[in-house]
Amino acid sequence: MFVRRFCKKPPPSPILTKFLLTVAAFMFSLPALAQYTTGTVNGVVNDPSGATVGSASVTATSRDTGLTRNVTTASDGAFSFANLPVGIYTVTVSTPGFATQKTEVILTAGHISRWDPILKVGTSNQTVDVGATSLSLETQSHQLADTVTSQEIENLPSNGRNVFSTLTQSANVQGYTGSGNSRSDINFFGVTSNALTIGGNAYGMQSFLEDGVTNYNLLTKTANIQPSIEGTHEVSIVRNGASARFDEPNVVNVVTKSGTNQFHGRVYDFLRNDDLNAYVKNNTTKAQLRYNQFGANVGGPTLHNKLFFLFDYSGLRQSSLSILNANVPTVAEKQGDFSADKFTIYDPSTYNPVTKTIQPFPGNKITHISDFAKKFLAYFPDPTGNPNPGYNYYARGAARTDYDLYFGRVDYILGGKDTLHGSYTTTDPADTSPSWVLGNIFNGASTREAKNAYAEWTHIFSPNVVNTGRFGYNYSDIEERISGNGRKNYSQEFGLTALSPAPEQWAPPIVYLTAPHTSLGNATAPDGARQHLFQYADEVNWVHGRNTFVVGFQLDRVHFNADWTVYNNGLFRFSGIYTNNHAAKPTGGSDLADLLLGLPYNAEAGIGASTVALRQYNFMPYFQDDWRVTNKLTLNLGMRYDFYQAPADANGHSHVYNVSDNTTHAGTFRQSYDDIAPRFGFAYAATSNMTVRGGYGVYYALPLYNNYQFLMLNPPNYYLQNHTYTNTQVVPTYEAFDPHPTSSSQAPYTVALNNPTPYVQQWNLAVQRSIGTQTVIQISYLGNKSTHTQIRHNPNQASLPADPNNPGTLQSRRPYPWVGDVLEASNLGAGNYNGLELEWRGHFRNGISFNANYVYSKAMDILTTEELYPASGTDLSRDWGPADYNQKHVVKVSGVAPLPFGRGRRWANQNPILTETIGGWNLSGIFSMNGGFPFYISATDNSNTGGSHASRANQVCDAKLDHPTIDRWFNTACFVQPGLYELGNERRNNLVAPRHTDTNVSLSKNFPTFREQYLQFRADIFHALNHPLPNAPAATVAANVPSNFGVISSFGGSRAIQLSLKYAF
């Protein structure tokens, strides 16, 4: 194996270099990031005869801030207000000879609202007020999108009190769950609540934005920050057909609240306690829970109609009981005294290899204890006794989840042509888990610190030309660690001088003991990354005749600094082989005695740098033209170029091992230059109350970066030493490792040398129809095809022998005989999705709103998460099957409604007693019925084809039952353990777990206090019907079939109640 140095930093082409320099010069003449927190109002003014009215004056005025824009209609009567901040606007039209006409428009982010006024003959001092419609048809864009309003976000029940949980009531939006969730990085790093699957795309295909600023961490491709529910104005979700502004196929843009001309705010506290919860099915105890989610915000004017502020704080304090069980050495054993034990320990220094005899320690006592053991055993507490069999130590601790989130925003209207606004968000979520160990060294900690900041400047050059520029900054620090990480150089303290972990990786070595003793340590802590993402962008909107042109770019600079600890602090296994009698059938001996002598039978450690400083530039110019061909037909035409620089370690430690020719390449994988993403679509207003829309687009997406650890974990940068000794090889801990290894015992980890950017092709066709002015129904077909998605596989997995009776050696059956197993992160995955959506939304003037939707769909792929391996690393077709998140049927109904009792309502509005007791209550809820997730049957691997691959059962019949039960969910006789030299023939994810039907309800009452201020009492009831939600059945087969095979034994869905008080002003 030799090293080539041609792929360290791929040189850009001369044309690209010139283009980047030109754009950079333009960038620094403007502020910078394309705007995604505004909307547009378009329309055509007509007279009573239907003729268009040119030169009419149109004005849009913000109800909250007084911001005013003025335009004049073109000769064809058209007008457009681009880049208006979200909110409620009064739009007026006036022209000589006609009465002034006005309406109210609710503008949401990224949405084009349309109003086509028909003027009435009269004088300009006469005003005709046209009532605002609650919902409007989408007549100018083909994208399938929803906006979740602050009313829905704040009033719908949210289990966990986070914004994303309320988004899942929208059509084709699900929290990330499914059969692969427990085997994914989002589960490992504790960011499950920050992930969504949208429009049939797997997680990692979403652009998470906060006020238009990138809001995801590259480590797991999940959202970085979720603002508080009370600090969120709205969330726009694009599930298919996003414009050229966006690189990824789905968009989740959280728009935060801002200050207005009136002071307003909230103070609140939400409480949960296990005393309010029901028992989980089959359980006789409840997990202890103490939960307080609290906060406050205030916003208002600093200068009326000019300068506004908003400050928001929210915090969480949650704890649950953690029982700490361990089996630890006795006080006497830690001092070397085994005289009370029933076994004999032998002194390995007395072994005679000629006579094969060995002498026991006198009195069964060790008098010379190694320094390693003295230091390590200091972490072990003395036994306390334990009511649970198999343990001798018992303690109680508290597992905690805490965070504090601070958000501040400022908006400044400089004048008629310029507005500035910016915000800063910081939060520090952390999960901590106690350990039974002394000294608080091994307590677990999962941290997810994050910061977002941006500044934006919008300048109006003319009524038809608007420029928006922005600078954004995104920071994340996601780590799985133990509390002792980085405190001191433990390797030196324990005499392991050959090891040199980075200071942030410092931790005590790991010690594995044999049962029943409890082992101690974490070989992969810390594991995580710190990200600094600097974002610059600019966008120009130009309304020219029937065309609305958008030209913009985004430039990212990524600093990604990761700690990927892989045995850097050393791992030792002790079994008692040195202190047994060394006979052919050994007796005596103890793992604890071997530990006291400092003699492991196995020692494992990583030598080399596994910290990384990845650096990357991303440059993404785009162009969009929304062309109003006729007053009924609009074409959406877009083009985008995504240049994602292949990341490489700034310190020169990253390498790619190419298994096909046994070469190592310094730097990174080969650069992609051809990521061109066209978009086109149409919107056709067939009638005044029906539109037909459709489109197609190509969308590129960065993969998650946790797999880029494979750039570091291979020679010549990193070597794993793994030594196993016999009891005649006496190697103490301090001599176990070579500081300058020349070979690695670990299979090479690598990233594919040719690694194209993942991309998705999307298409949709939708028909939307309004029923009256307050409800809209839509039926949509949407599909996608994903290519080059990221997976892990073993490209050197051996083939099955042609003749099982003469299998040959494992190495002789490998594609590349010069190396063994290789674990490669490669963009070889693929998938597709086809779905039919039916959605019915309503917003009524009496405060009632609802959203009912149904999705019938099928998602297929080759592996859904990066932690799953294919059954055959060289034949991925064996793993084509339903995606882990696939659910054939999903029904959701949500709504918010004031109950019709009390003052100002239909009933009980006169009697003071009834008014104060049963009056004034509001009800909201979410009902869902979700099809089951797919799964497969795991089996023991007897294929003898190498490692890093899935092992599924052999299926001999159709396992579907007509009437499955929790005791027999599928026909277990259909699955058997594969034999020697066999890969199971079962297709991936060919079984389906039970469906879930659930109801969450919220009941609240507002008590007026002063003017518009009120105190709200609220009760949220999650899983209100206490209906058990069955999990997947046991799905592992072996030669001896487990008794629980095919049995469902665990459930969710137990009712939980949350109480709260909120004061609003």
Whether the predicted pLDDT of 756 surpasses 60: yes
Res 126: pLDDT: 67
Res 824: pLDDT: 95
Residue 230: other Cβ atoms inside 10 A: 22
Residue 855: partners with Cβ closer than 8 Å, 6 or more residues away:
171, 172, 835, 836, 837, 838, 889, 890
Mean pLDDT of 783-812: 95
Q: What is the pairing mode between strands 206-210 and 250-256?
A: parallel
Res 21: pLDDT: 43
pLDDT exceeding 70 applies to what percent of the chain?
A: 95
What does DSSP assign to residue 149? Answer: E
The residue ranking higher by pLDDT, 590 or 178, is 590
Residue whose C-alpha is closest to residue 615's, from 532, 498, 724, 513: 532
Report H helices in 95-250: 150-155, 163-167, 185-188
Whether the predicted pLDDT of 10 surpasses 50: no
Mean pLDDT of 960-966: 95
Res 433: pLDDT: 95
Residue 125: partners with Cβ closer than 8 Å, 6 or more residues away:
100
The burial class, CB within 10 Å (0-12 / 13-18 / 19+), for 513 is: buried
Res 11: pLDDT: 44
State how far the Cα of 21 lies from the Cα of 1013, in Å rounded to an integer.
55
Answer for the pair 986, 977: CB distance below 8 angstroms, yes or no: no
Residues 449-468 pLDDT 10s: 999 999 999 999 998 999 99
For residue 765, the cross-strand partners are 694, 781
Mean pLDDT of 572-590: 95
3-class state of residue 735 by DSSP: helix
Mean pLDDT of 352-369: 95
The residue ranking higher by pLDDT, 30 or 184, is 184
The residue ranking higher by pLDDT, 1 or 59, is 59
Mean pLDDT of 140-155: 93
State how far the Cα of 877 lies from the Cα of 793, in Å rounded to an integer.
13
Residue carrying the six token digits 């919860």: 277
Residue carrying the six token digits 């207003």: 685
pLDDT confidence band for 967 (50 / 70 / 90): very high
State how far the Cα of 186 lies from the Cα of 164, in Å rounded to an integer.
15
Whether the predicted pLDDT of 694 surpasses 50: yes
Q: Find out whether the peptide bond into 756 is cis, omega within 30 degrees of 0.
A: no
28 Rama sector, left if φ>0, alpha if ψ -120 to 50, beta otherwise? alpha
What are the boundaries of each domain within the chain?
A: 38-130, 144-323, 326-395, 405-1064
Res 9: pLDDT: 43
Res 119: pLDDT: 87
Answer for the pair 529, 506: CB distance below 8 angstroms, yes or no: no
Residue whose C-alpha is closest to residue 898's, from 853, 848, 851: 848
Whether the predicted pLDDT of 685 surpasses 50: yes
Which two structure tokens, joined as six digits, stand for 429? 């979520």
Q: What is the DSSP string of 582-618?
A: --SS-----HHHHHHHT--SEEEEEEE--EEEEEEEE
What are the E-state strand segments in 67-158?
68-72, 78-85, 87-94, 100-107, 112-114, 127-130, 144-149
Query: CB under 8 Å, gap of 24 or more: what pairs does 383-387 form?
Result: 383/328, 383/330, 383/331, 386/325
Kindly report the CATH class assigned to 144-323. Answer: mainly beta
Answer for the pair 583, 534: CB distance below 8 angstroms, yes or no: no
Phi, psi of 729 (to 5 degrees): -105, 100
Phi, psi of 1032 (to 5 degrees): -70, 150
Could you please state the CATH topology (level 3) that the domain comprising 38-130 is classified under: Immunoglobulin-like (2.60.40)
What are the E-state strand segments in 899-990?
921-930, 934-935, 954-955, 975-976
3-class state of residue 368 by DSSP: coil
State how far the Cα of 221 lies from the Cα of 238, in Å rounded to an integer.
17
Whether the predicted pLDDT of 138 surpasses 60: yes
State how far the Cα of 81 lies from the Cα of 465, in Å rounded to an integer.
10
Whether the predicted pLDDT of 57 surpasses 60: yes
State how far the Cα of 77 lies from the Cα of 55, in Å rounded to an integer.
8
Residue 280 amino acid letter: V
Q: What is the DSSP string of 293-328?
A: EEEEEEEEEEETTTEEEEEEEEEEEEEEEEEEEE--
Residue 512 amino acid letter: Y
Whether the predicted pLDDT of 1 surpasses 60: no
Whether the predicted pLDDT of 334 surpasses 80: yes
Answer for the pair 791, 874: CB distance below 8 angstroms, yes or no: no
Residue 170 amino acid letter: S
Residues in the chain, how many? 1065
Could you please state the CATH topology (level 3) that the domain comprising 405-1064 is classified under: Maltoporin; Chain A (2.40.170)
User: Most distant CA pair in the chain: distance in Å?
Assistant: 121
Res 312: pLDDT: 97
Mean pLDDT of 545-561: 96
The burial class, CB within 10 Å (0-12 / 13-18 / 19+), for 178 is: buried
Res 493: pLDDT: 95
State how far the Cα of 353 lies from the Cα of 282, in Å rounded to an integer.
58
Task: Say whether pTM exceeds 0.75.
Answer: yes
Whole-number mean pLDDT of the chain? 91
pLDDT exceeding 90 applies to what percent of the chain?
A: 78
Res 132: pLDDT: 58
What does DSSP assign to residue 167? Answer: H
Which two structure tokens, joined as six digits, stand for 640? 């985008």
State how far the Cα of 38 lies from the Cα of 458, in Å rounded to an integer.
11
pLDDT confidence band for 180 (50 / 70 / 90): low
pLDDT confidence band for 266 (50 / 70 / 90): very high
pLDDT confidence band for 20 (50 / 70 / 90): very low
Answer for the pair 385, 392: CB distance below 8 angstroms, yes or no: yes
